[in-house]
């Protein structure tokens, strides 16, 4: 029996991307914090619950963006720590999962507040609050543009390891802020021109439902990475087919999982009557799969065992 652990170096741009994303998260956090303070102050002055709710909603996202920035800092400063067997990529998935839970709590709070407003409406200075709500929307859209790096997918529809769940969680938080800003603007306009104060509550309910849907999707994707669920069945099948195309080799055991932040781990056990040298199996696998940490076990077996 022969074993070999093969590590493929990270792409040359990996460290740059990490620092670049970290800078984006920090800038968005600072801008969002400034906008949060402005909305809370103006909301209290105008008695606009829509604006105050949007401000507190932003406050929760400032905390979530802080988690995002911390995750980048933690991963960057401990990238070479030996105590992390497969690196610190899971930190990003953990931050994404945490932010997804916070996002869901924010949605529930919004919906609860909406129910209260239906029962006890409050007089609002609609016109005075409107400019700040519009400014909040502009800021949120700018932050969303800054954070939107796309989410690559495999053909089976699952997110690829290249997708940064930490950055995506921050992106969804900013989108949620943008949505609540839009709803606040609609509510203020409706309240000022038509006297429809109930729009505050209706818009908050709709926003809460949409945010819950977003958080559920992010929570599911983050959990897949944290639980080492196979990132792509297609990728695992490609590895299996490539190995078994070599003579009478049979894959007895195969594990493919996301190490985090664009990296893939793979452990494969190969049985064959006349095993090839381990480097040949390694080259065959790396030719079809972007594996960063590859462990190969090769065992000589009889023809009956490999059948």
- Residues 6+ away with beta carbon under 8 Å from 265: 86, 255, 256, 257, 258, 259, 291, 292, 293, 294
The predicted pLDDT at position 12 comes to 36
Please say if the pLDDT value at position 157 is more than 60. no
Grade residue 251 by pLDDT with cuts at 50, 70 and 90: very high
Residue 125 belongs to some domain of the structure: yes
Note whether 282 and 178 are same-domain residues. Answer: no
Domain boundary among 166, 197, 226: 226
How many domains, the chain?
Answer: 2
What's the predicted TM-score (pTM) here? 0.62
Residue 301 is assigned to a structural domain of this protein: yes
Residue 53 shares a structural domain with residue 147 = yes
Tell me how far apart the alpha carbons of residues 299 and 295 are, in angstroms, rounded to a whole number. Answer: 13
- Burial class (CB within 10 angstroms; exposed 0-12, middle 13-18, buried 19+) of 212: middle
For residue 265, the model assigns a pLDDT of 84
In-domain check, residue 49? yes
Do residue 106 and residue 126 come from a single domain? Answer: yes
Question: Given 200, 226, 252, which residue is the final one in a domain?
Answer: 226
Residue 2, in any domain of the structure: no
Q: Which residue has the higher pLDDT, 103 or 18?
A: 103
Give me the DSSP letters along 100-155: HHHHHHHHHHHHHHHHHHHHS-----HHHHHHHHHHHHHHHHHHHHHH-----B-T
Are residues 161 and 278 both part of a single domain?
A: no
pLDDT given at position 271? 92
What domain range is 238 assigned to?
233-306
Q: What is the pLDDT of residues 80-90, one digit of tens each?
A: 667 766 667 67
6 domain residue, yes or no? no
Who wins on pLDDT, 170 or 265? 265
154 and 266, same domain (yes or no): no
Is 3 contained in some domain?
Answer: no
Whether residue 290 sits in one domain with residue 173: no
pLDDT at 9 over 50: no
At residue 81, the pLDDT reads 66
73 and 151 together in one domain:
yes
**At which of 226, 252, 277 does a domain end?**
226
Say which DSSP state 234 is in.
H
Same domain, 171 and 295: no
Please determine, for residue 4, whether its predicted confidence score (pLDDT) is greater than 90: no
Residues 28 and 91 in one domain: yes
Average pLDDT estimate for 65-72: 75
Chain mean pLDDT for the chain: 75
Residue 160 lies in a domain: yes
Assigned domain for 115 exists: yes
Q: Which of 23-27, 197-201, 234-238, 268-272 has the highest mean pLDDT?
A: 268-272
């Amino acid at each position: 029996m022969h074993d070999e652990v093969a590590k493929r170096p990270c792409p040359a741009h990996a460290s740059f991307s990490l620092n670049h994303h970290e800078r984006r998260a920090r800038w968005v956090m600072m801008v969002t914090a400034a906008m949060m303070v402005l909305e809370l102050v103006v909301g209290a002055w105008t008695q606009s619950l829509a604006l105050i709710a949007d401000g507190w909603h932003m406050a929760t996202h400032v905390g979530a963006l802080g988690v995002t920035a911390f995750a980048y800092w933690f991963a960057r400063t401990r990238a070479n720590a030996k105590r992390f067997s497969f690196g610190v990529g899971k930190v990003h998935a953990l931050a994404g999962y945490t932010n997804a839970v916070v996002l869901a709590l924010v949605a529930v709070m919004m919906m609860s507040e909406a129910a209260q407003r239906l029962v006890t409406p409050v007089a609002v200075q609609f016109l005075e609050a409107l400019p700040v709500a519009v400014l909040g929307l502009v800021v949120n859209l700018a932050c969303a543009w800054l954070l939107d790096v796309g989410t690559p997918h495999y053909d089976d529809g699952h997110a690829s390891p290249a997708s940064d769940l930490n950055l995506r969680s921050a992106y969804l938080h900013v989108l949620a802020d943008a949505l609540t800003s839009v709803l606040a603007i609609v509510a203020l306009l409706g309240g000022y021109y038509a006297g429809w104060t109930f729009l505050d509550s209706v818009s908050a309910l709709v926003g809460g439902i949409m945010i819950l849907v977003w958080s559920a999707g992010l929570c599911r994707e983050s959990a897949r990475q944290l639980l080492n669920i196979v990132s792509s069945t297609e990728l695992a099948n490609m590895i299996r087919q490539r190995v078994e195309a070599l003579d009478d080799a049979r894959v007895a055991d195969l594990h493919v999982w996301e190490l985090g932040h664009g990296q893939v781990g793979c452990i494969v056990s190969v049985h064959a009557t006349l095993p090839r040298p381990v480097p040949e199996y390694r080259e065959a696998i790396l030719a079809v799969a972007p594996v960063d940490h590859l462990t190969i076990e090769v065992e000589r077996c009889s023809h009956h065992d490999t059948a």
